[in-house]
Amino acid sequence: MNKEAIDLLIRQRPNLKNSRSKLEAMQPGFYCFHRSFGLGLIKDFDEKENKLIIDFEDGRTGHAMDPGFCVQKLEILQPGNIIVQHRENPEKVEEAIKKSPTDIIVSILGHCDGHAAATSEIEKTLLLLIGADRYKKWWTATKKLLVKDPRVAVPAKKTDPYVLRDEPVKAEEEILEEFFSIQAPKKQILLAEKLLALSISHDELQDHLPDILQTLTKGLQESKILNPGERLQGLWVRNDLARFIHEDVETLTPTSSSILEDIRDFSKLAAQIPPTYYKRFLDLIFRTYPENWEKIVFDLLRGSSGKFTTECINFLIENDLEEELDDTLHRWLEEQIIKGPLLLWILKNRHSRKFATLLSKLISPRLFNAIFYAIDHEALQNASARRIPLADILSEDAELISELLSQASQETAKDLATTLILNQGFEDLTKKSLLARFIRLFPGVQNLVSGSRDGSEEYSKSEGLVVSKESLEARKKEYETLLTEKIPENKKAIATAREHGDLKENSEYKMARQDQDMLLARKSQLEIDLTLARVSDFSDAPAEIVGIGNVVELTEGSTGNKVTYSILGAWDSLPEKNILSYKTPLGQSLISKKEGDAVKTVIDDTEEVWTINRISRWVDLQK
């Protein structure tokens, strides 16, 4: 925009006076960012229409926008911004992304107000720069490198910003200064742990080590607020630092073994320990309780979840207890005492290279029953609307039910289907979707479902759905598109919207979740439809009564007009061509009637009487 256009716009809209600098930045050749449209390039300014002409990367080219509107909606990217650099010299920036990741963050911070940016601001830029598919992994790795970069002050809290320092400061110097300036033992443990993570050389730390060890030990001995897990973490950090000066850590007090002396609930202690110390915790139990460590670890395994489950399994295998582990898991399954988190771990790891042999023997109808019990139990204990992970994996993993039922008899499948129908942990649509998978494997389950309290109208029709081949293929294509395109795209949209901040005020996130509900509901309905579908070419249509595949000439009672309808499959309705599904109100009324009969329909409170004049077969008319 030129000066005259800006002056005119401000005269017309005085409220834009304070936005002059932003209007002046809206020049052809400048990049901009729109929250909904994404990245764009200002191509021109149409003085006649008083509109900016912008090419957006989402496909909107030559898009005209009012500059006054753009003041609130567009972010103008200055020359030198990393996004601009990437668009103008992608090879150079891509090289930096791969080889100098911290330089990318330094560049981003250098173009921020005050040379500082919140994590969400940096991630928004990275999303544009690197793309949704790879930025998270890249950012996770880069954050670890930033800790060691003297140019950047890394936030101590998630709510604090990243700051580009005026003068580089070694991270270890900053940590040491903070360590000796605070009195909180828990914070001191975390800072000492950071010193270890920086891999500082012995020489650099040598002068400070005695004071660090003394401070840590004093905090561990005197603090009344550290829980046992935090004390263990502090001892392990202290011992690792002590080894830098060749201390015999076994002579330092308190010892890690002493923490376990008063412990009665090892599972509670495990929950207090950071995941990076799980293996060390199990080693400590092994050394402290040489006579009964196996029992303790198996007890920990039964109540474990996630990464701790993996560590317990690995620890038992490494100590040559794989056979005992196999026997124990089967015994727990027989006794129905496996808890939900461990069941979830089994399902998620059943195909892993490391655990497949061990877990494959557990995948059975008995495990399925244990899963239903755990889901029902959690639903009854859970007063909130929190999702149940076990229920989610059953719904989302398309192959899981067939694997669990691979050894099932017809009667076992019916029993499990009944358990599903009565289960409190599934929404109705999800139940229908899962039952459809049962029916696909065991058609006899459909009779059971017909008499259930589920109330599904589609299930109550024992003959299923009569459909044409063409309409079935269309439904299959829609289902495939949902699975391969729309649902994955929606997941990406949810992830992107989540990055925009507070979910309570995030309209994009809410819309994406609403879309997800509709997509999953449609997926469930299609699974039911496809399970019940029975293809027909309508060649078996009767000649003397109305059936599926007949063409019927009718007289409309209210007008005397004659109309001809083809009564075809459940998904074949084309009203503009007078083709009706046999599931429509008129189609249902005509079924099994003969020439001369009159039928009545009531649609939207309007009653109509139809008289059948003539019946013919649709296939005969196609010849």
pLDDT in tens, 543-573: 889 999 999 999 999 899 999 999 999 999 9
User: What is residue 461's predicted lDDT score, i.e. its pLDDT?
Assistant: 40
- By the 10 Å C-beta count (0-12 exposed, 13-18 middle, 19+ buried), 16 is classed as middle
- Give pLDDT, residue 345: 97
Q: Which CATH class is domain 550-621?
A: alpha beta
Question: Which DSSP category does 285 fall into?
Answer: H
**pLDDT in the model for residue 347:** 96
Taking the CA atoms of 6, 10, 15 and 20 in sequence, report the sign of the dihedral they define. Answer: positive
How far, in Å, CA of 493 to CA of 27, rounded?
31
What is the average pLDDT value for the chain, to the nearest integer?
Answer: 87
Domain range list for the chain? 3-77, 83-169, 363-445, 465-535, 550-621
**Pairing mode, if any, of strands 562-568 and 579-581?**
parallel
Report yes or no on whether pTM surpasses 0.85: no
pLDDT at 499: 65
CATH fold of the domain at 3-77? SH3 type barrels. (2.30.30)
Tell me what pLDDT residue 505 has.
55
Q: Tell me, what's the pLDDT at 264?
A: 86
Domain 465-535 classified CATH 3.40.50.720? no
Q: What is the pLDDT of residue 452?
A: 46
DSSP helix/strand/coil, 585: helix
- Tens digits of per-residue pLDDT, 264-313? 899 999 999 999 999 999 999 999 999 999 999 999 999 999 999 999 99
Per-residue b or e along 180-214, where b marks 16 or more CB atoms closer than 10 Å to that residue's CB = eeeeebbebbbbbbbbeeeebeeeebeebbeebbe
CA atoms within 13 A on the CB side of 120: 11
CA distance 27 to 84: 14
| Residues 394-403 as b or e (16 or more Cβ within 10 Å = b) | bbeeeebbeb
Instruction: Write the DSSP symbol of residue 155.
Output: -
The pLDDT assigned to 385 comes to 59
Spans of the chain, pLDDT less than 70 = 199-205, 383-385, 448-463, 498-507, 604
